[in-house]
Amino acid sequence: MTEDEFRLFAEKEGYTAPEFKTQPPNAFFDQHAHKDDLIAFIQDGEFIAETDKNRKSFKAGELCIVEAGLVHTDSVGRDGAKYLMAWRAAQTPKA
């Protein structure tokens, strides 16, 4: 995925305008959940999302999707991370 593709995806899917973020090496975010859906496009470095059932590492060019309410931790690789992120109101599951 490219940055342009990410921006188009975010707009098409109803996310907010992407915002640029940086995190220092080895940053850690304790267990939490978001009230809204989150997408992140990793531009540089490594970002790791972990739940009690799964651990996934995201690197440059990859898309991370975190649904609202999912309890998880986040951490950053040894070189830090740069990414774009966008939010949208939690989606109601379709019956």
| Alpha-helix residue ranges (DSSP H) falling in the chain | 3-12
Please check whether residue 64 is in contact with residue 47, taking contact to mean a CB–CB distance below 8 angstroms: yes
pTM for the predicted model, two decimal places:
0.89
Nearest CA to 47 out of 67, 33, 27, 68 is that of 27
pLDDT for res 69: 94
Write the pLDDT tens digit of every residue in 24-75. 999 999 999 999 999 999 999 999 999 999 999 999 999 999 999 999 999 9
Burial class of residue 78 (count of CB atoms within 10 Å of its CB; 0-12, 13-18, 19+)? exposed
